Structure 1
Amino acid sequence: MTATDPALTALANGWAALYVLYGRIEAHLERALQSGHGLSVREYSLLDVLSRQHDGDGGHLQMKQVADAVVLSQSATTRLVTRLEDRGLLSRYLCPTDRRGIYTDVSEAGLKLLEEARPTNDAALREALDEAARNPELAPLVTAVEAIDPARRLRPEPAR
């Protein structure tokens, strides 16, 4: 039998707590978004990421950047984009300067649904964090999440 490094055990425990927090938040958001708007967490996240695109340099995301932003594989992202496109919530088009590139834009219907769903998402997130904060193992993580500056939104890495 080998001895376990206490630092690695602490790291594993921290990761386990983070994973539990993530799972609880995602499940709470999923229930709220599905029941209120017929959206999954991934669909909401994709619409949110794509709604932040703009015209001009660096304004549009390649599919790999979108996949990274919604934490899915490229194939899963493509399937998700197709589902939302079939629902009329977004559209795809060829990049005007590189015919190999495909961009995705949120439709007016997608923007409307996102606008309607955002308060539900925000309220469900607050509820999930408040509930988690009552758990002594999760409370420090909740504090860390709440301390993140909203102006420093995580952005997808630039395409290479």
Structure 2
Amino acid sequence: MTAAAPPSTALAQHWCALSALHEGIADHIERRLEAEHGLSVREFSLLTVLDRQIEGKGGHLQMRQVAEAIVLSQSATTRLVTRMEDRGLLERTICADDRRGIYTNVTESGRALLEAARPTHDRALGEALERARKNPEFEPLVEALERIGEG
């Protein structure tokens, strides 16, 4: 008879499973978004975050807020925003109240690309979750994610 793993070891194992699940899903979505829309997962996430700001009537985010929202360093965020700005998907504006502040906004082209890519993203997510559900280690994580999505 083997003893149960200590709680910290079990927690670490669950964390590793969650991390592997995330990576597998992100990789599948990335391949589909790149192939069909020329977008990375980070670019899609950034467009989604900025688009939600418009829906919430916030309109735009400062670069620091963008970095926090998509979980990137400020320098990596600046490079990402610059690439997307060069493609006409985003624009930066100077804050009228504080000229040191720079806001990032999604353009109409960016919004159109996001709308075209959303169904691809959602299909790829569904496919990846169905595949993950077949792995006993991932099945409870997929079920938890689905419960959250229902709420």
Offset at residue 61 of structure 1 (A): 2.0
Give SS of 1:88's match: coil
Aligned to 1:53: 53
Instruction: Give the structure 1 partner of residue 147 of structure 2.
Output: 147
Of 96-105 and 133-142, the range deviating more from structure 2: 96-105
Whether the 8 Å contact between 2:59 and 2:105 is mirrored in structure 1 is no
- 1:136 maps to what in 2? 136
Distance 1:42 1:150, change over 3 A: farther
- Structure 2 unaligned blocks of 5 or more: none
Any idea what the Cα deviations from partners look like across 1:11-69, whole Å, max 9, x if unmatched? 11000100110010000000000000000000110111111123998553221221111
Where in structure 1 are there 5+ consecutive unaligned residues?
Answer: 152-160
Of Structure 1 and Structure 2, the greater helix share is in 2
Please tell me the residue identity of whatever aligns with 2:70. Answer: V
Asked if 1 retains the 8 angstrom alpha-carbon contact of 2:30 and 2:41, the reply is yes
Q: Secondary structure at the match of 1:97?
A: coil
Which secondary structure does the structure 1 equivalent of 2:124 belong to?
helix
Q: Report the RMSD for the aligned CA atoms in angstroms.
A: 1.8
Contact 2:61 2:105 in 1 (8 A): no
Deviations 1:112-156 (A, max 9, x none): 1000000000000010011101110000000111111467xxxxx
In structure 1, how many angstroms separate the alpha carbons of the residues matched to 2:117 and 2:90?
A: 16
Task: Measure the CA separation in 2 of the matches of 1:92 and 1:28.
Answer: 30
Q: Distance in 2 between matches of 1:60 and 1:90?
A: 11
Q: Distance in 1 between matches of 2:117 and 2:57?
A: 29
Post-superposition offset of 1:97: 1.5
Q: TM-score, normalised by structure 2?
A: 0.91
Identity level (%): 63
**SS at structure 2 position matched to 1:92:** strand
Q: How does 1:54-93 map to 2 (within 5 A)?
A: 54=54, 59-93=59-93
Q: When the two structures are aligned, how many residues end up with a matched partner?
A: 147
Q: 1:127 to 1:63 in 2, by over 3 A?
A: same
Secondary structure at the aligned position of 1:91 is classed as strand
Q: 1:64 to 1:126 in 2, by over 3 A?
A: same
Aligned counterparts of 1:150 and 1:84: Cα–Cα separation in 2? 33
